[in-house]
Structure 1
Amino acid sequence: MAMHLRRVDVDGPDGEPVTLSYPGMLLTGYEDGCKVCERWIPLGGEPSVADDEVLIDALHAAMLWQNHAEECP
């Protein structure tokens, strides 16, 4: 798990390319030293209750996967 800044290139209102960035948490699952999955969860400066619920669900799934109770989230 690590904080991560995701960057996305989009067309701006004038048609020129614009790069937007958004902070989040990158959950990465490893098996035998090899990365097997990744999930990026957005973490805005003012998270909503829905944002909190998505994060809680993702962390719960990651913990279950770590204990071999379910598929990689």
Structure 2
Amino acid sequence: MRLAGIQQFLKERHLPFQYWEEDDCGSIEFDHRGLHYHIWEFPEPERGAQSNVRIAGRSEEFGDNYEEAILGILKTREEF
């Protein structure tokens, strides 16, 4: 299972989400307060992720320690 920390956070906050895994890459999508959020991992050798959790209307890419960075954003946003 990939993105385990993010999945745990969403479960603790009772935020329903969809998770799937393909080619050793995890993807999470969830809706909150009418906005759609995504977290998509990139495969090796460019391991990283793309997400719009900071600003719902804009995706950004995360490199090293991407799960920790995305989880940090989720934890600091009051609406989550």
TM-score by length of 2: 0.34
Larger radius of gyration: 1
Higher share of residues assigned strand: 1
